[in-house]
Structure 1
Amino acid sequence: MKYKQQNFSYTGRRGKIFWIFLILLILLVSCFIYVIFLYLDIQESKTAGFEETERQIIQATSITEIEKIEQFNGAEAYHVIFGKNEDNEEKIIFYPLEGNEKTLTTVEKNEIVLAETIKSGWSEQCTGCEFINIVPAMVDDEPLWELAYNDDSNRYILDYLSMYDGSRYEQYRFNRMFN
């Protein structure tokens, strides 16, 4: 009995397809890994400094429990801390990110118009609008709510409303250049 010996060579058409497939697979895996690292880096930069701010707030104020920290970027950048003191009173603290001397602005949550109330009042007034978000804001040392939405004319609106009475402080309307 004679055996026919087969020679597997990665030359020719099958070999070229194999190498093209292998190179594409390596590129795809590399791109996937890059996207994951990019995403993690962006997430980390969004929360950069939160731990230091939390440590400073616990050390310098009556806050004993921090529920969450957000960031507001206006003319000045702030970390916005939602927390409670030892008497279980809820507070919102604006912690400025610039400068060595920090002047904290503390807002008692029971003295303000809640974000949910602002949003429900907005939804009654602005039918046909698309809600984006509502976040605490600090403009000219005034604690405000920043309400972002698209109006019925497809403009992007930033509405700044007083935390204490819900009155309008200022409003920006941006026309869309591209759809």
Structure 2
Amino acid sequence: MITMKIRPSSLYTGPKWLTWSLLIIIIFLISCFIYMIYLYIDLKDSKTAGYEETKQQLLKANTLTDISKVETFHGDEAYHVVFGTDDQQDKIIFYPLEGKEKNLTTVNQSEIISKDAIINEWEQQCSDCELVKVTPALVEDNKLWELTYIDASNRYVLDYVSIYDGSRYEQYRLKSMFN
């Protein structure tokens, strides 16, 4: 009597194409995930590009002694909006990004309506709205607050009010084409 022992060559007896397909899909998904992380970091860095150079220029020129925050405003021209202190006064400086000569626009914070006061006034006027951000703005040499929000009609609104008295300068309401 002849007996044969059959040994399985592997524990998995499914088709090899399925294994390779799953492996390729997993590698592709991991590659996409790594690329998304890289893009996120790159976009985040480009958003704050030039902030350190602007800070160094203002500190070097003794325009400010301490800088607490830098933001960006894009209007007709792009500006870094620098919040800082000089001679014990809080100031906001609009630092233009274009051109070799920098004509700085300076605002003493003691002379303006505070950001919190503008937000409180806006909340009373637009209770069903969702605030996105509030940024100092410089439009045609007018110093303004730019209030960005979504109103009750689901429109994206850019509202420009005077930084000194809160009066409206201009307003844009953008309606979404795709809901």
Aligned residues: 177
Structure 1 segments unaligned to the other structure (5+ residues): none
Query: 1:92 Cα shift?
Result: 0.6
Question: Can you list the C-alpha shifts for 1:3-48, whole angstroms capped at 9, x where unaligned?
Answer: 75432398x7342222122111100110011001101110111011
Aligned to 1:48: 49
What per-residue deviation string (whole Å, max 9, x for no partner) do you get for residues 37-90 of structure 1? 1011101110111111111111123311111111111110000001112x3321
CA distance in 2, matches of 1:156, 1:6: 66
Shift of 1:127: 2.3
For 2:140, the equivalent position in structure 1 comes to 140
Root-mean-square deviation (CA, aligned residues, Å) is: 2.0
User: Helix, strand or coil: the match of 2:65?
Assistant: strand
Q: Report the TM-score, using the length of structure 2 for normalisation.
A: 0.91
Query: What does residue 8 of structure 2 align with?
Result: 6
Q: Does 1:120 align with 2:120?
A: yes
Aligned residues: percent identity?
Answer: 53
TM-score (norm 1): 0.91
Corresponding residue number in structure 1 for 2:101: 101
Corresponding residue number in structure 2 for 1:62: 63
Gaps of 5+ in 2: none
Give, as a single letter, the amino acid of the residue that structure 1 aligns with 2:118.
I
In the alignment, the residues of structure 2 paired with residue 113 and residue 53 of structure 1 have an alpha-carbon distance, to the nearest angstrom, of 25
**Structure 2: distance between partners of 1:132 and 1:62:** 31
Q: CA offsets, 1:114-168, max 9 Å, x none?
A: 1110111011111222221111111001111000112222222111011111111
Task: Give the letter for the 1:132 counterpart.
Answer: V
Aligned letter for 1:171?
Q
Partner of 2:130 in structure 1? 130
